Structure 1
């Protein structure tokens, strides 16, 4: 299992703070696609930074069983 965490507006839009993927490994780009499919009302998945185990990733990085993936949406304000 791979745990996916949502923060800020993404959490509100998804209606949950976390989501579980029942896969042994998956690329970050594929995780984005699965989140878009599972939570079509969540905006910003393409712009959000993604971290695996608290380290920012690239689209071709891979999450594995036991990893925690976090979607961190862009922050605005001033």
Structure 2
């Protein structure tokens, strides 16, 4: 899931900064990269917290741990 989101983000960064002659486009691309990097880091941090608490990243497994049932 994470790799797919990152590949999508890389394509989006390129599309935002496609107009190299415009300073506004370059500034917007840089700001988008910084914001995207921050969001990506927070996503990884949250996923690591969930994995540490439940031992899995699958949604059914997380649901089982939350509801107290195990297979």
- Which protein, 1 or 2, shows the higher relative CO under an 8 Å CA cutoff with sep ≥ 6? 1
- Structure with a larger share of its residues in helix: 2
Query: Do they fold alike, i.e. is TM over 0.5?
Result: no
- Structure of higher CA gyration radius: 2
